[in-house]
């Protein structure tokens, strides 16, 4: 009896193991199909409708890939190449270099206010890495650096910078009324949206961004008013062409004069760039770092 019971137990155990093995195998074979179906289903998800027409996630992804896919991939590849080049050639970019580059570049081209600070700093970081990479074998003498600094010292005099908002109105009377409303606690941004005649800044609640003192795109009358206003306050009414205006000062960044020591690296990279007779790009280093993308196969 005991032997019969033991034999039955062994047979049951063997059958269970066989069943488990068969089930696991069938599940493993089916899983990629399930995954593929799930992926396709996700891409066929309707993300918008226009009347009876449906727009699927796949439609959207296809449009994104066809319009900006290659450019976005190239940016990712370029960043990775620069990261690897920084390791290979011991290239470093400091926070001070990023701040200096941003400050001096803004004198020529104002910051893209649509970009967040972190995004702008990231772009500057990779641009500096690239500059250092392409200039690592170019020798610029200290004499040339000093000569450039003396000749272009005005480029390294950075004026005060003001973060401003603007309200423009048709008449002096309107301007005084706006100032009176501000004095009783009215919100500058709301007044700009509702009453400013300047269409561009009004849409942004009056914001015109960070500007260097004396920026010639704006009237001298504005700068004369601004220089006496503290952060968190607004100006008196002043004439702006045939209209009148009030500006609000959000923040003031004090200007500075950069010494030769502080800008030597900046000047060295600038001169090294001028030495090169042909345009350069990160693509020059693709072979060195064995870059391949699926766009290469499509060509």
Q: What is the pLDDT of residues 58-69, one digit of tens each?
A: 888 888 888 888
pLDDT under 50: residue ranges of the chain? 1-37, 39-40, 113-114
Is 6 a domain residue? no
Residue ranges making up the domain that contains 73? 69-156+259-298
Q: Count other C-beta atoms under 10 Å from residue 212's C-beta.
A: 17
Do both 139 and 265 map to the same domain? yes
Q: Using an 8 Å Cβ cutoff, are 211 and 257 in contact?
A: no
Distance from CA of residue 128 to its chain's centroid? 15
223 SS3 class: helix
**pLDDT on residue 120:** 85
Do both 150 and 164 map to the same domain? no
Do both 73 and 132 map to the same domain? yes
Could you tell me the two tokens for 185? Answer: 């606690």
- DSSP state string for 239-291: EETTEEEEEEEEEEE--EE--HHHHHHHHHHHHHHHH-SS---GGGGTTTTT-
Q: Count other C-beta atoms under 10 Å from residue 168's C-beta.
A: 23
Do both 204 and 270 map to the same domain? no
The model's pTM:
0.64
How many Å apart are CA 295 and CA 299, to the nearest integer? 7
Residue 218, phi then psi, degrees to nearest 5: -120, 150
**pLDDT on residue 42:** 53
pLDDT digits (tens, 9 = 90+) for 165-185: 999 999 999 999 999 999 999
**Domains in the chain, number:** 2
Do both 246 and 180 map to the same domain? yes
Do both 275 and 220 map to the same domain? no
Is 268 a domain residue? yes
**pLDDT on residue 275:** 83
Q: Count other C-beta atoms under 10 Å from residue 206's C-beta.
A: 24
Do both 203 and 273 map to the same domain? no
Is 11 a domain residue? no
Is 208 a domain residue? yes
- Report which of 133, 124, 136 is spatially closest to residue 100, judged by C-alpha positions: 124
156 SS3 class: helix
**pLDDT on residue 156:** 92
Do both 133 and 86 map to the same domain? yes
Residue indicated by tokens 């991939």: 73
Do both 150 and 290 map to the same domain? yes
**pLDDT on residue 252:** 94
């Amino acid at each position: 009896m005991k032997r019969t019971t033991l034999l039955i137990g062994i047979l049951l155990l063997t059958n269970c193991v066989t069943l488990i093995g068969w089930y696991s195998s069938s599940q493993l074979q089916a899983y990629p199909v399930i995954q593929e179906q799930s992926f396709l289903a996700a891409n066929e998800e309707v993300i918008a409708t226009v009347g009876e027409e449906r727009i699927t996630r796949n439609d959207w992804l296809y449009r994104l890939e066809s319009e900006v896919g290659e450019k976005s991939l190239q940016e990712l590849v370029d960043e990775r190449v620069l990261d690897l080049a920084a390791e290979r050639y011991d290239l470093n970019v400091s926070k001070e270099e990023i701040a200096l580059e941003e400050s001096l570049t803004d004198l020529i081209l104002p910051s893209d206010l649509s970009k967040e600070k972190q995004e702008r700093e990231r772009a500057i970081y990779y641009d500096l890495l690239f500059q250092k990479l392409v200039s690592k074998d170019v020798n610029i003498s200290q004499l040339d650096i000093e000569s450039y600094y003396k000749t272009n010292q005005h480029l390294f005099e950075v004026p005060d910078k003001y973060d401003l908002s603007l309200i423009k109105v048709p008449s002096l009377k309107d301007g005084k009324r706006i100032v009176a409303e501000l004095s009783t606690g009215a919100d500058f941004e709301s007044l700009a949206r509702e009453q400013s005649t300047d269409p561009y800044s009004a849409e942004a609640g009056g914001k015109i961004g960070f500007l260097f003192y004396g920026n010639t795109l704006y009237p001298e009358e504005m700068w004369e008013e601004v220089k006496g206003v503290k952060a968190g306050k607004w100006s008196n009414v002043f004439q702006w062409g045939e209209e009148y205006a009030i500006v609000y000062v959000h923040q003031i960044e004090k200007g500075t004069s950069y010494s030769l020591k502080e800008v030597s690296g900046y000047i060295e990279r600038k001169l090294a760039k001028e030495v090169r007779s042909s345009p350069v790009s990160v693509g020059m280093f693709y072979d060195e770092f064995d870059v391949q993308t699926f766009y290469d196969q499509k060509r």
